[in-house]
Structure 1
Amino acid sequence: MRLLVINPNTSQGITDRIGQAAQSAAQPGDRITTLSAAFGPELIVTPEDGMEAARGVVETIRSQPVLPDAIILASFGDTGAEDVRALWPDIPVIGIAEAAFESARQMGGPFAIVTFAPEVAPPLRDKAIEHGVGDQLIRVAAHPEALQGDPADVAEALFAELLTLCQTCKNDGAKAIVMGGGPLAGLAARIGPLCDVPVIDGTVEAVHQIRARINSHAPLSKTGAART
């Protein structure tokens, strides 16, 4: 499987984290390329950020010498998904929010989202509702301080605080936890064993789900298109 993973943010540090998470889900024969958007914000926060980032995502795909078998958009806004599907309708596309929330849906029961800053919490809640799992979502738990410094550093700098938030959500009744945001890619593998409930990494889930779709030739979600 030739898989192109695009970080719609332009932070190379976040892209590196996403790439490592994607590679952790690779199987023999997979060729996974992870790139930042060609241009745009370092971290998507506002709707305006998202529109600019979507244009950067499209330009990244256009610059590829060979189109991939599938594309993962590694932001929790699924940034650029509509544009990419319209321009390349034969290539399966999945966003990491779509993948994470589909995993939560399949597990059933209540779940929580844990994220790194209060300003990203409302969009994460909105995205859960958009993907049809708002009724299962009991809480979006965010680190209370606004993001400062390089967003690629938050997973390590806030590890203890994020672990505490996960444990609190579990105690509040969450049967699964979604790590919300590209900067937290790869963190689920470290927090999960310490939390006693499944901790979902959207990038890892996206790799698994897009592979299953390709192998089965199954239709994508209502927002996607199957590759034939």
Structure 2
Amino acid sequence: MRLLVINPNTSIGVTARIKEAADSAALPGDRFTTVCPAFGPELIVSQEDAEQAARAVVETVKAYKAPCDGIILASFGNTGAEAVRALRPDIPVIGIATAAFSIVGALGGPFGIVTFGRSLVPGLTEKAVEAGLGARLIATEAVETRDFGDPGTVQKRYASEIGQLCAQMHQRGATCVVMGGGPLAGLAATLAPTCPVPLIDGTQGAINIMRTVAVHRSAEVTV
């Protein structure tokens, strides 16, 4: 399976975290290319950031000429998804929020979202509501900081605090917890031993969904 994984923001550190999470979900024969745009915000927080990042994502897709079976957009804004689908209608395109909330829907029950900065809470909550899961969302909780620094290092610096938030979500009745934001890619596997409910990684969830689609398409070709 050949996938293009795009980090819609320009943080090299976040791109590296996303690449690690994606590569850890690879099977023999898979080829994943993880990139970030040449321009745009280092982290997507405002609507203006999202609009600029969406334009950058489209330009990134246009510039990518290698064979590709699918595109993953590794931001919880599903940044640029509709424009990329219009550009590449021949392959599936999925954002990590769509992937994460699809898993939440399949698991059932109440859930929580945890993230690394208070400024991200409204946008993450909005995405859950857009996915039709607002009534099941217990809360979106964040590390108590508004100046979280380098987004590429937040999961290392705040792993303990985020783990505590996950445990608190379980205590409040969550049947699963979503890791909110591309910079937390791969953290779910690290924290899983400390939390008795599933921790959902949108990047790895998107890869698994792409794998299901690829198997289905392969079966169609065979028939």
Query: Could you tell me the TM-score, scaled by structure 2's length?
Result: 0.95
Q: Does 1:17 align with 2:12?
A: no
User: Which residue pairs with 2:40 in the alignment?
Assistant: 40
* 3-state SS in 1 of match to 2:75: coil
Do the aligned partners of 1:74 and 1:182 also contact (CA within 8 Å) in 2? yes
Counterpart for residue 159 of structure 1: 159
Displacement of 1:217 after TM fit? Answer: 3.3
Flag the structure with higher helix content. 2
The answer to whether the Cα contact below 8 Å between 1:98 and 1:131 also exists between their aligned partners in 2 is yes
Residue 67 of structure 1 and its aligned partner are, at CA, apart by: 4.1
Distance 2:58 2:211 in 1: 22
Equivalent positions of 1:131-170 (< 5 A) are 131-170=131-170
The residue aligned with 2:51 is 51
The equivalent of 1:86 in structure 2 is 86
For residue 200 of structure 2, what is the aligned residue in structure 1?
Answer: 200
Q: 1:147 & 1:125 partners in 2: Cα distance?
A: 20
**Residues 143-152 or 100-109, more deviating:** 143-152
C-alpha change, 1:160 and 1:132, in structure 2 (3 Å) is same
SS in 1 for 2:141: strand
Aligned to 2:97: 97
The residue correspondences of 1:119-138 to structure 2 (distance < 5 A) are 119-138=119-138
CA contact (8 A) 2:116 2:148 kept: no
Which amino acid is the alignment partner of residue 109 of structure 1? G
Q: Percent identity?
A: 55
In structure 1, C-alpha distance between the alignment counterparts of 2:26 and 2:55, rounded to whole Å: 28
Give the RMSD, CA atoms, in angstroms: 1.1
The aligned counterpart of 1:187 is 187
C-alpha separation in 1, matches of 2:117 and 2:197: 22
What do residues 46-89 of structure 1 show as CA deviations (whole Å, max 9, x unaligned)?
Answer: 01100100111111111112241100000000000011011111
Query: What SS does structure 1 have at the residue aligned with 2:10?
Result: coil
Instruction: State the SS of the aligned residue for 2:135.
Output: coil
What letter is aligned with 1:98? T
Read off the aligned partner of 2:127 and give its amino acid letter: K
Amino acid corresponding to residue 15 of structure 2 in structure 1? T
Is 2:179–2:199's contact at 8 Å kept on the other side of the alignment? yes
Kindly state the Cα deviation for residue 147 of structure 1 after the two structures are TM-superposed.
Answer: 3.0
How many pairs does the alignment contain? 218
Q: Equivalent residue of 2:79, what SS?
A: coil
Aligned-partner residue type, residue 143 of structure 2: H
Q: Cα offset for 1:189?
A: 0.1
Q: Distance between the aligned counterparts of 2:65 and 2:164, measured in 1?
A: 45
Aligned residue for 1:94, secondary structure, equals strand
Asked if 1 retains the 8 angstrom alpha-carbon contact of 2:73 and 2:95, the reply is: yes
TM-score, scaled to structure 1: 0.93
Residue of structure 1 in register with 2:221 after alignment: none
Q: Distance in 2 between matches of 1:184 and 1:148?
A: 13
**Other-structure match for 2:68:** 68
- Cα distance between partner residues in 1 of 2:98 and 2:139: 18
Is the 2:45–2:120 contact (alpha carbons within 8 Å) kept by the matching residues of 1?
Answer: yes
Distance of 1:120 and 1:102 partners within structure 2: 20
Amino acid across the alignment from 1:10: T
Structure 2 equivalent of residue 222 of structure 1: none
Matched-pair contact (CA < 8 Å) for 1:61–1:67: no
| SS of aligned partner of 1:217 | helix
Structure 1 portions without partners, runs of 5+? 219-228
CA distance in structure 2 between the partners assigned to 1:116 and 1:43 by the alignment: 12
